[in-house]
Amino acid sequence: MTQINAGKIYIVDYEILKGVPTSSDQLYLTAPLCLLYKNRLDQIVPIAIQLNQTPGEKSPIFLPNDNEYDWMLAKMWVKSADFIVHQLVTHLLKTHLISEVFQMAMHRQLPPVHPVYKLLKPHVRFTTAINAVAREKLINEGGIITKISSLDGKGINEVIRSAMETLSYESLCFPEDIKARGMEDAPKYYYRDDGMKIWEAIYNFVSAVVNIYYDSDEKVQGDEEIQVFVKDCHTGMNKSPISLNTREELVKYLTVVIFIASAQHAAVNFGQFEWYGWIPNSPSTMRKPPPDQKGKVDMKYIMESLPDRGRSRTTLGAVWALSRFQTDELFLGTYPEMCFTEEPVKEAIKTFRKKLEEVTKEIRSRNEGLTFGLLNLYNIKLNSSFKSQPSQELRVSRSESCCEQPFPGYHLVFDQVKLLKQVTEEYVVLKEIKHQL
């Protein structure tokens, strides 16, 4: 397995969907495994798909040289699973619901005059309101997700609960998440490249502000309001810090809060129409069971598997609405109420804005040399909270499709793809594809 040792094999594992009940015996959901390979052209392409977690005679491994309809449908099944994970885990849980934890703790534990309250306020200002709407219209029983997917309210809760069991503070730290998934060297991974630039800009800004108000680590340790704020967040989110002991730890913690509410949310939300507007690219549900043998699929079976007209229409309307621009946006680096009165903080804000403009120019310059149109998911005028949306003026762009790869639109999902570093019995699929490598 020299290709694995060379860091050329990636895996997407949707185990989180295993055993999740569907809302109807006429709708289907599976938990596929997909292997991807970095080829000589630095394209990351799918090379094998297993539609169930358990290998066996009734769980064939689909390959690119299979019947074209077998391979086409297998890819659709992967993207259908990705739709569910993206909506409920990557988007809802890891941006909206996590930010609500931070917002509630901020209002409960920090007084409005606290510098951290002033720093975080613009980034969580609409979180509770928009999440209340989501609970009422999106993820409730009879809500949009239950209308367009294979899940009912019970299934939605089960997916989110399973994701919570593995969610950690480290996975919310952008650099640590990239490293943990082995994605440091993945080619043309602009989500990583652009995200790191924005993370660093936020981190340096937060560091400047924190060092104005805390001249030592002891000041952080002695700030009872900060300590109860962090403890309150831990209560709502397992595997997070219970206390902060240094200025560096405080800077990193606040960077996580701001990055999630701005850059990360922009990345996972505002390109949804581009990904999901073409229904076969990411079906919200499947109406036929996954094939349990090769050579039985034709175009008729594929069409009967895809969502019907009603679900497709509702999906298009939902992702179109989520991807729209607002007219009253607040952008990253903007503090309109100017809660800060100290001149050093005002200077830090100016420096932050200047850095964001520099990042914009760098990414625009990079994009000019690309042959594949990128999705404009990052915006240097990034929405500072969940109500605002990216401007059409200055954008920091990134694409997860790995330009020019033979699987157009294949979504290198934000928190699912990882470098495969070793072979285990779980991935016996590898034994079937040696000739593909």
pLDDT tens digits for 27-61? 999 999 999 999 998 888 999 999 999 888 899 99
Would you give the DSSP letter of residue 280? G
Task: Report the pLDDT value the prediction gives residue 23, as an integer from 0 to 100.
Answer: 94
Torsion (CA) 204, 206, 210, 213 in degrees, nearest 10: 110
Taking each helix axis from N to C terminus, what angle separates 343-368 and 190-213, rounded to the nearest 10 degrees? 170
In the chain, % of residues over pLDDT 90 = 63
> What's the mean pLDDT in 245-257?
97
Q: What does the pLDDT read at residue 361?
A: 87
With bands split at pLDDT 50, 70 and 90, how would you rate the model's confidence at 239? confident
d(CA 90, CA 264): 9
| Structure-model confidence comparison of residues 383 and 155, the more confident one | 155
Residue 328 has pLDDT above 80, yes or no: no
CA–CA dist 118, 335 (Å, integer): 9
CA–CA gap between residue 250 and residue 50 (Å, rounded) = 43
Cβ atoms 61, 33 nearer than 8 A: no
Q: What is the model's pLDDT at position 327?
A: 72
Quick one: which of 375, 381, 403, 256 has its CA closest to 319?
Answer: 375
58, 294 Cβ separation under 8 angstroms: no
Q: Which one has a higher pLDDT value, 379 or 163?
A: 163
How far is 213 from 208, CA to CA, in rounded Å? 9
More confident residue, 392 or 1: 1
Summarize pLDDT for 331-366 with one digit per residue, the tens.
788 887 778 889 999 999 999 999 999 998 888 888
pLDDT band at 142 (very low <50, low <70, confident <90, very high): very high
Q: Which residue has better confidence, 76 or 426? A: 76
**In one letter, which amino acid is 113?**
V
Burial of 286 by CB count in 10 Å (0-12 exposed, 13-18 middle, 19+ buried)? buried
Average pLDDT of span 295-307: 96
**CA within 13 Å, CB half, 201:** 26
Q: pLDDT tier at 386 (50, 70, 90 boundaries)?
A: low
Residue with more model confidence, 369 or 187? 187
Q: What is the DSSP letter of 12?
A: E
Please provide residue 9's backbone torsions phi and psi, each rounded to the nearest 5 degrees.
Answer: -110, 130
Residue 426 has pLDDT above 50, yes or no: no
In this prediction, residue 339 carries a pLDDT of 83
Confidence of residue 390 (pLDDT cuts 50, 70, 90): very low
Residue 401 has pLDDT above 60, yes or no: no
**Which pLDDT value is given to residue 387?**
52
Strand order in the sheet with 44-50: 61-62, 44-50, 33-38, 9-13, 417-419
The predicted pLDDT at position 371 comes to: 66
Nearest Cα neighbor of 129 from 166, 100, 159, 91 is 100
pLDDT band of residue 246 (cuts 50, 70, 90) is very high
pLDDT, residue 341, reads 87
CB-based burial of residue 169 (10 Å sphere; 0-12 exposed, 13-18 middle, 19+ buried)?
Answer: middle
Report, as an integer, the average pLDDT of 393-420.
Answer: 41
Residue where the block lists tokens 């090769």: 294
Query: Average model confidence (pLDDT) for the chain?
Result: 85
Q: What is the pLDDT averaged over residues 271-300?
A: 93
- With 70 as the cut, is the pLDDT of residue 87 above it? yes
* Stronger pLDDT, 392 or 140, i.e. the higher one: 140
At residue 255, the pLDDT reads: 98
User: Is 395 a residue whose pLDDT tops 70?
Assistant: no
pLDDT of residue 198: 94
Residue 382 pLDDT greater than 90, yes or no: no
- Pairing relationship of beta strands 33-38 and 9-13 according to DSSP bridges: antiparallel
pTM over cut 0.85: yes
83 vs 392: which has the higher pLDDT:
83
- What's the pLDDT band for 93 if we cut at 50, 70, 90? very high
